[in-house]
Structure 1
Amino acid sequence: MATLVTEARVLEGPGTSGDRRPAQELSQAVSRLLPGLEAESKLSRRRALEGLQRELEEGAPLPPSADFQELFGRLLLPRLLRCLGDPAEKCRALAVQLLRLGLSHGARPQDTLPQLIPALTQRLAGLGSGQLVEPCEELRLALVELLSLVVQLCGRSLAPYLDEMVRILQKTIVDPFPDVKRESCKLAGDYAQSIPDHFHMQSESLIAPLMQTISHQHSKVRVAVIQATGLVIQFGNAKSVDDVISHFAQRLFDDVSQVRYAVTSVVGNWLLHLRDRYSFFHKLIPLLLSSFDDEIPEVTELAVSLWEKIGLQWQKENEDDLKDKLDFASPPPSHYPKGVIRPVLGCRELIFRNLSKILPAICNDITDWVVGNRVKSAQLLAVLLLHAEDHITQHLEVVLRTLYQACSDDEKSVVSNCIKSAELVGTFVNPEVFLKLIFPALKKSIRPSCLMVLAAVTRGCSRQSLKPHLNNIASFLSQTQICQGSEDSHYMEQLLCCVQALIQVGQEDCKESSLQLMEVLVTVMAVSGAAGLSEKVQETMNLLAQMQKYDGTLDLYQQHMDRLMEWLTLSHQDWNCHSVELLQFEVIVIQSGPVLGKALNYFIPIIKTCLLPTKDPQMRLKLFTVFSQVLLKAKDTVNAHQQFHGYLETVIKDILVPNLEWHAGRTAGAIRTTAVSCLWALIHSEILSSKQIIEIQEVLMPQIINTLEEDSKMTRLMSCRIINIFLKACTDIIDPDKFIKIYPELLKRLDDSSNEVRIAAMSSLISLLHCIKNDDEKSYLKSNMQFLYKELLVHLDDPDSTIQDAVLGVLKEGSILFPNILMEEIEAVKYKHRSLVYCEQLLQHIQSTTSVL
């Protein structure tokens, strides 16, 4: 659409006003063409219209506008308006162009309105609610553009035609052709601005078609609708704000940034210029502030800029009420969020005064089923709380209740913004106030989201404000109801976050709460071992130690070991395999390292009680495993301070002996296996002297011999090895009766399904044979040795060469006792063997040994 200035220049031509055509000459030229407009032939009408176009556009300059106005209104206007209904599309198009030329050049275009507006109304709006009279969409666009030109030229003169104009716009705004929609929206905005004193009477009539079109698939149409709506309401009836707010809110989720930009611009201008804006602050402010977190920087910058202008304008308008606050402005909190510019006083006051009206809707939408609504609401809540500052206190209960619910959302963006809001609560609200609300809520509902909020508000506090409440928070978290409230990994993670927040903010002030924090950390590590939090807990412990100027976590255990053990001793009588205290005990025992060596007065009684045969079998299995782990590193754990020997008798008689006794069932067998493992770890740790090992074997040898028959290969193997160590420790002569009890059991193991067990049994046999040292024993054991030789010679013919080599070694060691008997036994069976090699080697060994002797 050419501009008014351009069209005027075309009409005036290159000459000066003195070179214009006389009006009479133009009148004669036009009169000659007018009959053609009434011709029945479409071609004749078209040629007449084209002739008129040439006369007006291409001939000599037109006469002065006043003369042309009279000629146009008298000769052309009525006929051209009739041509708007011509059957030929080209004729209608030429008629529209000629109307534009005539209106642009006339001195008083408003004189044409009585004829022009009804004709355009008929052509665009028709009669009643039927279809549009003009079927061609390009011509409908041209007619709307013609109306736009009329609005530019006539302005206020169009006031009497308000009904007709609104009727046209109601039709064209919902026109199927997108370009007509866009031009109609522009027309609506221009018309609203041209007659502000009258437009409000009919402005509401345009809201319905505008809102019907606001979700059109073309983004440019949506932008045009939003801009038109802004002007229609600004220069019309402001009550329509209520009808469009929901639609505007929906457009804030538009995928096209230009649409969101348009909404932000319109809402911002309403807040600046709408006549009744004070009445709509609580409805419009959320829309504008929602753009603060837009993904497009331009939209965010526009929203921030407009909001600051709004705040400054409101501040100026209410300067008298704000005088004290302006003169004695309070500084921002010392720990105000980094990188955030504090809003001006006017903006903060606007939020404070409207928060009670805005907050309920935000709290409702933050749990909406639509993800986008929840995200926007969470973002908006953080912006509101940043402005409200310490006025949050008045709405704290509602805010916290909302945060508890929203922090359990599956959408990460919702949770992250709610955490930001919770941190702002900590920044602006006294801890004494929010703790009185959070603690009861946590006790009432053990949820990860409540802990998440507590951690966030703690992070938002300053060190100075939090210091008086550190012990209170740490004690609360260490309560059994809280720290053992749930075994859910997410709950434990948030419990850890609470401790991290306390250490992060409290720093060195956490020293007084160190024990309670340790209890919580131990619980988190105990319960969430499978959740992968152990490493994070260890890092937090290191940080807690660092804050107290310690070298590491061992110093923490050194400081609190007695209290931690006392804490567990209170309940150890009632433990079972599901007890959290059992897991806590395991963590403390494993993690404390050498510090455990100073706490044996707690450790051994707990172990003794919990390993009684009457206790839960699964718990006993778990505890024996833990006991084995520390015994394997006894020098660095239980015996780090050389105090373990004082408890050795208790460990043997009260812990191992009862659990090595045979009982039917797989679980009982598993317990015996773990008990044997524990004994092996104790012996293998090298903290026992030979004398102590002898004392142990005097007590435990019968039970260990019995375990040689266990189903578990590992148990049989460890039992063989334990017996071997027992026998090696016997420096004195062995009792022959004991020999007679031991060797048959070891001999049985030569038939074991595991070669590893067979070899271990043969090593024990060698150690047993070394214990026979005098002639009296030899003579007493002669028949037993002969039986042993016979059995060993059977295994000397084993298919496995490894076993043959091992048996050969045993026979060589035993040959020194009764060489002649052994040689007789060899001669008796050697021809029954698959090969004579091993028998010949043994005979040669006996002969060489005998000759030497």
Structure 2
Amino acid sequence: MAAGDQHAASEVMRGLARHLNYLNEDKSARKRALEAIRRETIEKGLSSAVLQEVFSALLKPLLRCFADPMERCRETAIAITTDFIRCVPKPEESLPYLMPCLAQRLGEKEIREPAEELRLSAMEMLTLTLEVCGKRLAPYLTEMINILQRTIVDPFPEVKRESCKCTINFAQCVPEHFHMQAESLVKPLMQTISHQHSRVRVSVIEATGAVIQHSNGNNLDDVLSHLAQRLFDDSPQVRKAVTAVVGDWLLHLRDRYSYFHKLIPLLLSSINDDEIPEIRLLAVELWKRVGAQWEEENEDEIKDKMDFLFTPPPFYPTGVERPGLGCRELVVRNLGRLVPAITHDITDWLVPTRVRTAQLLYILLLHSEVHSVQHLPTLLATCYRACTDAERTVVTHCLAAAKLLGTFVPAEVFLKLLLDHVTSPHISSHPWAPLMVLAAVLEGCPKPLLRPHLEQIAGTLVDVCQEYQQVIYLDQLLLCTDVLLRQCESDCGSVSLQLLQVLVAVQSLSTEPLTSNKALESVQLLCKVQGLDSATELYRQHMGQLLDWMSASVSNWSSYSPQRLQLHIIVTQSGAVIGEFVSQLMPLLRCSLQPDKDPEMRMSIFTMLAKLLLNAANSLDSQGHFRAESEEFLGDVLLPNLVWRAGHTAAAVRTSALSCLLALLHGGAIAPGQLTCLAEKLSPLLLTALDENLKTGRLFACRSMATILKLVGSSLHPEALNKIYPELLKRLDDSSEEVRGVALQALGMWLSSLSKEYKPEFHVAHLQALFQQLLLHLDDPDTSMQNQVLGETKGSCVHPALLKREVEAVRERMRSPAYCDQLLQHISSLAAETAAEGPQ
């Protein structure tokens, strides 16, 4: 130091002596003294050499003021000391006194500085000291660590941030010493990493990056879970900080190769940041640098691959940039450790974690390409679980990952596992999950690679299409079918039958109109890819095989069998085509409708047949083939089901059989001659049915009898006719007005059926009984019934003399003789007409 500077310093200190003495007086004097010291030193513009000498003399008194009871004094002392450190040429000379003092004020278990603003000022001074002293702080490692341990968890957020800044600087200044005690900062940093202020969280993350970077690496596992949670932070700056720190570790961490499998997922997760493009771009850039660096470091090992793997695989997903070789190799080499973590996190209780995990799965599969085949069973099981997630976003990303499996994994490999899982749905607690994954994998599989396996896939779908009735299961069956049709188009002609079987099964099992409509749309798509004009053509192409499919199991059908519903779909949707295959359909009907079969199943089939027979010309009898079989159908199928058996269920079956009989008679699918041959067997059963407990059964029986009389009544033997009318007369007293009316119509048909073979004079007793019952209802309380009786009686011209006598005999007993008078007048007019025709 020059003599002049030394003299000037002595003069300054002589002038400060009085002020230094005042530092031991009361608080006002101490305050004024400190302010005077500042004016006489820092604010006077002294040379740096003089300031250095003065600072050395003033340091101890100033440091004692750090513990002054008066906050203003402490503040001024810290400010003066900070200014001296900033201005003097050798601030390191103050370290032996400054660092113990700061450690005492800030680094004790109980921080002695109560004012948070002064703690911040002290930390700023420490940061400044670190900047100007640098490596000279190495001997004070313990003091620094003690201070940082306390201030990182300081209640004041700004102190936390300044401490993190100081931590980063200290780690970079003395890395050769810092690593020895770096791990002691991990715990306070992790205690602060979830602080409510986002700026504090950012500072903590950056400090954590520096601490781990300059430590021995043993504490990386302690911070990874905390950093992973920050990837879901609401603040973009926090997520960006995590991305930058993890990328820096992947690039510069000394033992990074040991931690690739833990760090890669964190960086790749940032590539899927849904909100901030800046974070995605940063993650992509860092990831590319990591891959390029790994390529350089392992150039000899991957030299062959670098020569041959620049061109992407032949069916690489369109619109997707292929990752670099180094990035792909990093993922492939760590995939065995990454997949178990993915499997675990995909079922995490937090939705954001599951979403990020599903997104990460997609990126990993994009990098691993064909190498994912080594982990295929685990990956498929993971996809099954993810597909059952209630969060739709998880399912979407999972299916996108499954699509990549279809793109990169050979079809014969993934089909061997997937189809086994589809046919053995216990592999998942949700049997539809393998189907959902199968649809996604098939969608990703290129058409040329999928074509050779069409029959195997379609055959599997047929095997399982009747397993479950869940809507979601049926929807996934439809989705698999649609994917095949869209992917392979005209090639699906080879499996058209199997796909149609699946679509028929889905329609038969579905209870949701939306699913049924989707199935019908798929049927139209199946027609389109084969160039067929309509579903009718499609059914004509496969009807024989479909009926064989039905016949294979018909002996085991019950009310729970889906086949009965499938038969309904086939015969109703095929329209007139079914009429071309009547000979194949009849054995199936005969077997399924035997009286010993399930009653509910028979009722269902009879109802279906009734609808078809009402429009027989456009369905069963479109080719005239059913008429040839109708006599056998009536005798072998319908009649056995009309035989009376006890019980309500048996009555319901008879009613459904009667509806089918009525449809057969009305639809014109049976000729009168065929009906005449069976009248002897049919008539007793119908007469018995007229007395059914069920109103519908009685109604169908009356209508059937009326139709039979209309069609073949004139061909019946008089004795057969005489057995019919008594049962019909009983129904005139039925509890149902509708049954009474139909029975009366049937009696009218009976009267109209009397041919020349029916000699009235030989059957007077029968006619008399008939007329007496009819006339009894001519006085019915119901006016409509009276009018109908009058009309039916007028329509008869059988034995008018007998009818006249019977009318005259009851006329006086009627409540109103008007109807009798009308009937007598009608008989008289008939007699006059007959007399007038006689002479001619």
Q: So what's the TM-score if we normalise by structure 1?
A: 0.90
**Matched position secondary structure for 2:114:** coil
For residue 425 of structure 1, what is the aligned residue in structure 2? 405
Inter-CA distance 70–781: structure 2 relative to 1 (3 Å threshold): farther
Inter-CA distance 26–691: structure 2 relative to 1 (3 Å threshold): farther
Q: 2:317 is matched by which residue type in structure 1?
A: P
For residue 4 of structure 2, what is the aligned residue in structure 1? none
For residue 34 of structure 1, what is the aligned residue in structure 2? 20
What is the alpha-carbon distance in structure 2 between the residues aligned to residue 683 and residue 536 of structure 1? Answer: 37
Deviation of 1:291 after TM superposition, in Å, equals 2.1
Inter-CA distance 38–772: structure 2 relative to 1 (3 Å threshold): same
Matched, 1:476 2:460: yes
Matched, 1:47 2:32: yes
Q: 1:66 is matched by which residue type in structure 2?
A: A
**Matched position secondary structure for 1:507:** helix
For residue 383 of structure 2, what is the aligned residue in structure 1? 403
Inter-CA distance 655–775: structure 2 relative to 1 (3 Å threshold): closer
Deviation of 1:303 after TM superposition, in Å, equals 1.8
What is the alpha-carbon distance in structure 1 between the residues aligned to residue 534 and residue 41 of structure 2? Answer: 97
Inter-CA distance 314–216: structure 2 relative to 1 (3 Å threshold): same
What is the alpha-carbon distance in structure 2 between the residues aligned to residue 497 and residue 599 of structure 1? Answer: 31
Matched, 1:220 2:199: yes
What is the alpha-carbon distance in structure 2 between the residues aligned to residue 157 and residue 542 of structure 1? Answer: 83
For residue 255 of structure 2, what is the aligned residue in structure 1? 276
What is the alpha-carbon distance in structure 2 between the residues aligned to residue 33 and residue 355 of structure 1? Answer: 72
CA contact (8 A) 1:733 1:772 kept: no
Inter-CA distance 693–104: structure 2 relative to 1 (3 Å threshold): same
Matched, 1:258 2:237: yes
What is the alpha-carbon distance in structure 1 between the residues aligned to residue 407 and residue 49 of structure 2? Answer: 73
Q: 1:674 aligned to 647, 656, 663, which one?
A: 656
**Matched position secondary structure for 1:293:** coil
What is the alpha-carbon distance in structure 1 between the residues aligned to residue 409 and residue 236 of structure 2? Answer: 36
What is the alpha-carbon distance in structure 1 between the residues aligned to residue 757 and residue 119 of structure 2? Answer: 131
**Matched position secondary structure for 2:163:** helix
Matched, 1:378 2:363: no
What is the alpha-carbon distance in structure 1 between the residues aligned to residue 206 and residue 804 of structure 2? Answer: 114
What is the alpha-carbon distance in structure 1 between the residues aligned to residue 627 and residue 378 of structure 2? Answer: 62
Inter-CA distance 739–89: structure 2 relative to 1 (3 Å threshold): same
**Matched position secondary structure for 2:795:** helix
For residue 737 of structure 2, what is the aligned residue in structure 1? 755
Matched, 1:80 2:70: no
What is the alpha-carbon distance in structure 2 between the residues aligned to residue 341 and residue 455 of structure 1? Answer: 24
Query: 1:405-457 CA distances to partner (integer Å, 9 max, x unpaired)?
Result: 44344443333333222211111111122223334444444432222232222
Matched, 1:525 2:504: no
Range with bigger deviation, 338-347 or 363-372: 363-372
Output aligned runs, 1:428-827, within 5 Å. Answer: 428-446=408-426, 447-479=431-463, 482-529=464-511, 532-695=514-677, 697-730=679-712, 732=714, 735-772=717-754, 774=756, 777-814=759-796, 817-818=799-800, 821-822=803-804, 825=807
Deviation of 1:237 after TM superposition, in Å, equals 2.9
For residue 124 of structure 1, what is the aligned residue in structure 2? 106
Q: 1:788 is matched by which residue type in structure 2?
A: L
What is the alpha-carbon distance in structure 2 between the residues aligned to residue 802 and residue 445 of structure 1? Answer: 64
What is the alpha-carbon distance in structure 1 between the residues aligned to residue 728 and residue 132 of structure 2? Answer: 119
For residue 838 of structure 2, what is the aligned residue in structure 1? none
For residue 359 of structure 1, what is the aligned residue in structure 2? 339
Inter-CA distance 651–253: structure 2 relative to 1 (3 Å threshold): same
Inter-CA distance 112–613: structure 2 relative to 1 (3 Å threshold): same
CA contact (8 A) 2:471 2:511 kept: no
Count of aligned pairs between the two proteins: 823
Deviation of 1:284 after TM superposition, in Å, equals 0.4
Range with bigger deviation, 769-778 or 463-472: 769-778
What is the alpha-carbon distance in structure 1 between the residues aligned to residue 15 and residue 673 of structure 2? Answer: 140
CA contact (8 A) 2:328 2:367 kept: yes
Deviation of 1:838 after TM superposition, in Å, equals 4.3
CA contact (8 A) 2:439 2:476 kept: yes
Query: 1:16-65 CA distances to partner (integer Å, 9 max, x unpaired)?
Result: xxxxx9767765664443333221x22222233344455567x5x51122
Range with bigger deviation, 578-587 or 670-679: 578-587
For residue 190 of structure 2, what is the aligned residue in structure 1? 211
CA contact (8 A) 2:425 2:432 kept: no
CA RMSD of aligned residues (A): 2.8
Query: 1:77-122 CA distances to partner (integer Å, 9 max, x unpaired)?
Result: 2222111111122222222222222222222222222211111110
Inter-CA distance 837–24: structure 2 relative to 1 (3 Å threshold): farther
**Matched position secondary structure for 1:563:** helix
**Matched position secondary structure for 1:295:** coil
What is the alpha-carbon distance in structure 2 between the residues aligned to residue 760 and residue 546 of structure 1? Answer: 50
Q: 1:69 is matched by which residue type in structure 2?
A: Q
Which runs of 5 or more structure 2 residues have no equivalent in the other structure?
A: 1-6, 835-840
Inter-CA distance 822–38: structure 2 relative to 1 (3 Å threshold): farther
Matched, 1:339 2:319: yes
Matched, 1:303 2:275: no
Q: 1:64 is matched by which residue type in structure 2?
A: S
For residue 152 of structure 1, what is the aligned residue in structure 2? 131
CA contact (8 A) 2:423 2:460 kept: no
What is the alpha-carbon distance in structure 2 between the residues aligned to residue 838 and residue 216 of structure 1? Answer: 103
Q: 1:219 is matched by which residue type in structure 2?
A: S
For residue 141 of structure 1, what is the aligned residue in structure 2? 120
Q: 1:187 aligned to 144, 166, 169, which one?
A: 166
For residue 321 of structure 1, what is the aligned residue in structure 2? 301
Range with bigger deviation, 242-251 or 526-535: 526-535
Range with bigger deviation, 381-390 or 842-851: 842-851
Deviation of 1:839 after TM superposition, in Å, equals 4.7
What is the alpha-carbon distance in structure 1 between the residues aligned to residue 757 and residue 674 of structure 2? Answer: 28
Deviation of 1:626 after TM superposition, in Å, equals 2.4
What is the alpha-carbon distance in structure 2 between the residues aligned to residue 687 and residue 305 of structure 1? Answer: 78
CA contact (8 A) 1:124 1:134 kept: yes
CA contact (8 A) 1:786 1:822 kept: no
For residue 87 of structure 2, what is the aligned residue in structure 1? 105
What is the alpha-carbon distance in structure 2 between the residues aligned to residue 134 and residue 87 of structure 1? Answer: 10
**Matched position secondary structure for 2:315:** coil
Which runs of 5 or more structure 1 residues have no equivalent in the other structure?
A: 1-20
Query: 1:707-742 CA distances to partner (integer Å, 9 max, x unpaired)?
Result: 111122222222222222222224737543333322
CA contact (8 A) 1:62 1:68 kept: no
Range with bigger deviation, 261-270 or 373-382: 373-382
What is the alpha-carbon distance in structure 2 between the residues aligned to residue 327 and residue 496 of structure 1? Answer: 44
Deviation of 1:519 after TM superposition, in Å, equals 2.6
CA contact (8 A) 1:830 1:839 kept: no
CA contact (8 A) 1:631 1:678 kept: yes
What is the alpha-carbon distance in structure 1 between the residues aligned to residue 61 and residue 22 of structure 2? Answer: 11
CA contact (8 A) 1:86 1:92 kept: yes
**Matched position secondary structure for 1:38:** coil
For residue 16 of structure 1, what is the aligned residue in structure 2? none
Matched, 1:68 2:51: yes
Inter-CA distance 840–67: structure 2 relative to 1 (3 Å threshold): farther
What is the alpha-carbon distance in structure 2 between the residues aligned to residue 79 and residue 776 of structure 1? Answer: 147
Q: 1:213 is matched by which residue type in structure 2?
A: T
Deviation of 1:683 after TM superposition, in Å, equals 2.0
Inter-CA distance 439–135: structure 2 relative to 1 (3 Å threshold): same
CA contact (8 A) 1:124 1:171 kept: yes
What is the alpha-carbon distance in structure 2 between the residues aligned to residue 483 and residue 824 of structure 1? Answer: 70
Query: 1:207-237 CA distances to partner (integer Å, 9 max, x unpaired)?
Result: 1111122223333322221111011112333
